[in-house]
Amino acid sequence: MVKLGVLTDMSGPYSDYAGNGSFTAVKMAVEDFGGKIGDTPVEVVVADHQNKSDVGVSIARSWYDVDKVDAIFDISNSAVALAVMGVTKEKDKAVLLGGVSTPKVTTDSCTPNSVQYIYDANVLSNVVGKAIVRDGGDTWFFLTVDFAFGHGLEKTTADVVKASGGKILGSVRFPLNTPDFSSFLLQAQASNAKIIALASAGADTTNAIKGATEFGISGSGKQRVATLLTFITDVHSMGLNQAKNLLLTTAFYWDADDATRAFAKRFHERMGKMPTMVQAGMYSAALHYLKSAAKAQTDAGSKVVAQMKADPIDDFFSRGGRIRPDGLHEHEMQLMRVKTPAESKAPWDYYALLSKVAAADAFSPMVPGACAALR
């Protein structure tokens, strides 16, 4: 038996863009691969890490030692991911990270067993940050979720803003899964920064944007809310009246072409919603893992990941993408604007394409010596 484990947030703030949708996507990839590697059947299991590192590590150890899981997918929490990466290396398994942006994955915590498949903080900052400063948004104030993901996203975006000629006027950090952003938004409003940047994701992002609308910030003309990581499920939750004209970076949009629409239609039939870039990416990651494991003829994580790095990726999510030696998957990104209600012509018709950004322009180059596994 080959076992793939989807370790994700099934009930918390990230469950909408990952969660059961990631589990479904990985199962779809296994089905499309044929359900077997040679004569060996492939099984998919799932667990909720509850956004707690100790819970995630405990599940990972049990999966590796008792259940004989060969690879873990998604996680979608930077702190949990960094902890699980250590166990994965120790057991020589593989971990394919979904909604995880911290640059530590490919630097200080870099291992030969891990792949950062969807994005990192640098690509999110590069695409949106440069575009906003270029458009006149040259003073920034950050609202940052207080753990590794938010810290990394704030730092990399601040670096991009300053390098582009902008200024950082301040920042405030808030706990994960914050329901009321009133006090944080008041601080941001008082800063008079042109851009209030949300270094967050999922429910935190939608709650902050709803709060900004209630405070009159979004429609004031003096300040603008910018989201550094937004998913189509966030836009769906907020509605176009609140989300209209937001700029965002995405690696996948369901209505991009015939191939994305075909996958999205199948996913929607099972989940009742369109896939996020994390869920589409986890399909791609699982399919690439299975192909590489079959080619390498081994379940040793480091050898399968090495094979994944050796072969290009060509599917609806990543056309000609490659996994770098440090484990970062480079692929084309897209800069989108959220449509107004008048522009949207059908359910889930939410994005207007502003530009396609080639991998070489979106992703920051690999820094020699930065990856601990390559030193």
Do 287 and 354 fall into the same domain? no
Do 236 and 348 fall into the same domain? yes
CATH, residue 302? 3.40.50.2300
Domain that holds residue 184: 122-250+333-362
Res 220 pLDDT > 80: no
Q: How many residues does the chain have?
A: 375
Q: Where are the beta strands (DSSP E) in 244-302?
A: 247-250
In eight-state DSSP terms, residue 127 is I
User: Given pLDDT bands bounded at 50, 70 and 90, which one contains residue 231?
Assistant: very high
**Helices 148-163 and 78-91, packing angle to 10 deg:** 110
Q: Which helix (H) or strand (E) holds 130?
A: helix 130-134
| pLDDT attached to residue 219 | 66
Token pair, residue 281, equals: 């990416």
Beta-bridge partner residues of 74: 7, 97
State the greatest distance between any 2 C-alpha atoms of the chain, in Å, as a whole number.
64
Do 238 and 145 fall into the same domain? yes
Do 197 and 281 fall into the same domain? no
Q: What Rg do the C-alpha atoms of the chain give, in angstroms?
A: 20
Tell me if 373 is assigned to some domain. Answer: no
Do 107 and 205 fall into the same domain? no
Do 283 and 303 fall into the same domain? yes
**pLDDT (tens digit, 9 = 90+) per residue, 51-106?**
999 999 999 999 999 999 999 999 999 999 999 999 999 999 999 999 999 999 99
Tell me if 367 is assigned to some domain. Answer: no
**pLDDT (tens digit, 9 = 90+) per residue, 143-175?**
999 988 899 999 999 999 999 999 999 999 999
Tell me if 96 is assigned to some domain. Answer: yes
**pLDDT (tens digit, 9 = 90+) per residue, 254-299?**
999 999 999 999 999 999 999 999 999 999 999 999 999 999 999 9
Tell me if 320 is assigned to some domain. Answer: yes
Do 32 and 96 fall into the same domain? yes
Q: Are 120 and 281 in contact (CB under 8 A)?
A: no
Do 85 and 102 fall into the same domain? yes
Res 8 pLDDT > 90: yes
Tell me if 374 is assigned to some domain. Answer: no
Do 174 and 266 fall into the same domain? no
Tell me if 372 is assigned to some domain. Answer: no
Do 147 and 91 fall into the same domain? no
Res 218 pLDDT > 90: no
* Count of structural domains, the chain: 2
CA triple 105-106-108, angle to 5 deg: 80
Separation between Cα atoms, residue 96 and residue 18, nearest integer Å: 13
Tell me if 141 is assigned to some domain. Answer: yes
| pLDDT attached to residue 247 | 87
Do 177 and 239 fall into the same domain? yes
**pLDDT (tens digit, 9 = 90+) per residue, 170-216?**
999 999 999 999 999 999 999 999 999 999 998 999 999 999 988 88
Do 282 and 337 fall into the same domain? no
pTM of the predicted structure, to 2 decimals: 0.93
Tell me if 60 is assigned to some domain. Answer: yes
